[in-house]
Amino acid sequence: MNLSLAAKKKRTYDRSNPTYKWVALAIVIMGAAAFVYGIYALTTHAGFGMYFLLFGLAAIFLFAGANVLPTSKNNRKYIENQLSGAIEQMEEYIRKYPMFLVMDYV
């Protein structure tokens, strides 16, 4: 199961365009700025404060939940280490069962 999840994450990372990560980060930063301005606008009774607050929260949570942002667990080094660790675990598991049939389709 670990190998499957690590391989899926690696494929997803390899297929995604790196530009999208930085665009998503810029949108989250703008969302945070809108959120801060929304709080300021609500406290000073300026117009449209609630809309800025809600837009900021929506932008932050949308892109944070989409696993697009470059984080400590969503970068190339971490993903490759996870995959190599999962491969090592599977090889150790297979060593315990010498009759385990592995077919290699080339």
Residue with tokens 């999840």: 5
Q: How many other C-beta atoms lie within 10 A of the C-beta of residue 74?
A: 16
- Domain boundaries along the sequence of the chain: 2-95
pLDDT in tens, 51-63: 999 999 998 888 8
Q: What pTM, to 2 d.p., does this model score?
A: 0.60
CA torsion 40-45-48-54 (nearest 10°) is 50
pLDDT in tens, 4-57: 888 988 888 888 787 887 888 888 899 999 999 999 999 998 888 899 999 999
